[in-house]
Amino acid sequence: MDASKQYLMHTYKRFPIILRKGRGMKVWDSNGKEYLDFVGGIAVNNLGHCHSKVVIALQKQAQRLLHVSNLYHIEPQIELAKLLVKHSFADKVFFCNSGAEANEAAIKLTRKYAKDHLSHDRYEIITAFGSFHGRTLATLSASGQEKLQKGFEPLVPGFKHVPFNDINALKGAITKHTCAVMMEPIQGEAGIKMPDMDYLKEVRKVCDEYRLLFILDEVQTGMGRTGKLFAYEHFGIEPDIMSLAKGLGGGVAIGAMLAKDSVAASFQPGSHAATFGGNPLACAAAKAAMETLLEDGFILDNCERMSKYLINRLEGIKKDYPSLVAGVRGLGLMIGMEMTTTCGPIVNLCLEEGVLINCIGGNVLRFTPALTLTEKEVDRLIEVLEDVFEKIS
């Protein structure tokens, strides 16, 4: 741990444990201590740690081919794209390596599409306050959080922010320069902020009316996290462009930007690229993960069932500790519990008791466990939370 401090840039506030092994919902540290993992790599490990189907696919692919170049066709990339297209609104996929990169690709495609089809001075993208779209300069500029942007000015121009879940504010922000709206269906990093049920439908309507592209950032909400493969399915809409990453690779780094043919056509050879984008190893893992997720629908059903159970149990704690808990919200297994106090100490005490949870925005406990979660695991979490709340109240 001293070496970690000495050799790694201090970009993360890390907990004082070294994690070494994981299986399903469990991880073990270097002392052999076991933890129940309700962080799940922040909505990455949707199938839990080291799912056997993903591991086997990786082993097989590692023996065959690790990397060539996008100068050539590779089977795992084609097969994964086909699977994504079959199960989404999209016709075409561009692969990259992270959520930020997927959003960068979405922003570039949007600007290019606007140049091709609208006019030369339509480049502005409206995003929401509180949103998080990544840490590269453009995605940071798109994100509606000043605290992340501070010190990195000048920001990339062409983004305008409006309050989330306020359709009139959105309408009011549209100018002759606007070409798109970019949003998370549920704001993850802002503290699991849910929109009203008809908000995204209204955004879609406004986009159609003003000829704006609707970009959905499903980096966190996608791949079954909310109980459906993509969160937009809950809201009865389809975007024009969607970004994916976190849960896509079953634990392996991969990002994707999906679009309808009419939009995707604005990318031509030379428009955009990524050396490692859609490499054989990542695509093999993602394909195995997605096939597993869709297999007989068990995992998505389980996600919805466990969502109800977990929210119900958390509501129970809220009743027992009304002065500590302000509210419980979420969709599928993307659940936030807003506290009336800072939640750092709660996270530390849970860690001591062998449960990993995450704190966002200073006062929201976030739960993004594996979608294979069981009632017994929820019960254990509740037991520990009650214990911890008893201690601090």
Q: Applying CB under 6 A, what is the total number of residues that bind ligand PLP? A: 15
DSSP 8-class letter at 49: B
Which residue among the candidates 132, 159, 164, 230 is catalytic per the annotation? 132
How many whole angstroms separate alpha carbon 342 and alpha carbon 363? 5
- Between 248 and 385, whose beta carbon lies closer to ligand PLP? 248
33: annotated active-site residue: no
Q: Please work out, in degrees rounded to the nearest 5, the angle formed at the alpha carbon of residue 289 by the alpha carbons of 286 and 293.
A: 135
Q: In which region does residue 183 sit, left (phi positive, over 0), alpha (psi from -120 to 50) or beta (all else)?
A: beta
Which among 38, 159, 214, 217 is annotated as catalytic?
Answer: 217
278 near ligand PLP (CB under 6 A) = no
Looking at the Cβ atoms of 182 and 314, the one nearer to ligand PLP is: 182
Q: Which among 218, 215, 242 has a CA at the least distance from the CA of 91?
A: 242
Among 188, 222, 278, 330, the residue binding ligand PLP under the rule CB under 6 A is 188
User: Is there a catalytic annotation at residue 246?
Assistant: yes
Q: Which of 293, 228, 217, 295 is nearest to 256 (CA)?
A: 217
Is 245 a binding residue for ligand PLP by CB under 6 A? The answer is yes
Residue closer to ligand PLP, measured from CB, 163 or 354:
163
184 near ligand PLP (CB under 6 A): yes
Stretch that binds ligand PLP, among 53-61, 181-189, 201-209, 315-323 (CB under 6 A): 181-189
Site for ligand PLP in 130-159 (CB under 6 A): 132-134
15 Cα distance to chain centroid: 22
Joined together, the tokens standing for residue 68 give: 């060539």
Say if CB 173 and CB 160 are below 8 A apart: yes
Q: Is 258 in the site for ligand PLP (CB under 6 A)?
A: no
Query: Strand, coil or helix: what is 38?
Result: coil
* 367 near ligand PLP, judged by CB under 6 A: no
Q: Does the footprint of ligand PLP cover residue 232 (CB under 6 A)? A: no
The C-alpha atoms of residue 305 and residue 373 are separated, in whole angstroms, by 10
Contact flag: residue 368 with ligand PLP (CB under 6 A): no
- Residue 161 found at the interface with ligand PLP (CB under 6 A): no
- Report the DSSP pairing between strands 124-128 and 178-183: parallel
Q: What are the residue numbers of the active site? A: 132, 217, 246
Q: Which residues bind ligand PLP (CB under 6 A)?
A: 98-100, 103, 132-134, 184, 188-189, 217, 219-220, 245-246
